Amino acid sequence: MRDAGRRILWRHEGEIRGRGLRMSDHLRLATGGGGFVRGWIDGDPIVRQDGVLGYADDAPLSYFKLGLYRDHLTARP
């Protein structure tokens, strides 16, 4: 299975809809080491990971995604 061994580095459990957030990130994708990611919300650190940050089977199309991913939300008319 392609997703085996992947993990979520951070997940916010509270409500964030309806408010403004200042999100910052600094990252270097690397499949052989030397990679890192740092993330902040409103100046507070939320994630820090060093080392391999990417998967060799994704190359050369690796990219960073950030967003709200919720399949259970209903569409508004």
Q: Where are the domains of the chain?
A: 23-58
Answer positive or negative: Cα dihedral of 75, 16, 43, 34: negative
- Structure token digits, residue 14: 């509270």
Residue 51 pLDDT greater than 90, yes or no: no
**The pLDDT of residue 38:** 92
Give 1's pLDDT tier (boundaries 50, 70, 90): very low
Cα 76 to Cα 12, 16, 59, 73: the distances in Å are: 24, 19, 37, 9
- Higher-confidence residue of 75 and 23: namely 23
Tell me the pLDDT tens digit for each residue of 34-49: 888 899 989 999 889 8
DSSP E strand boundaries for 1-77: 23-28, 30-41, 44-53
Give 3's pLDDT tier (boundaries 50, 70, 90): low
- pLDDT averaged over the chain? 76
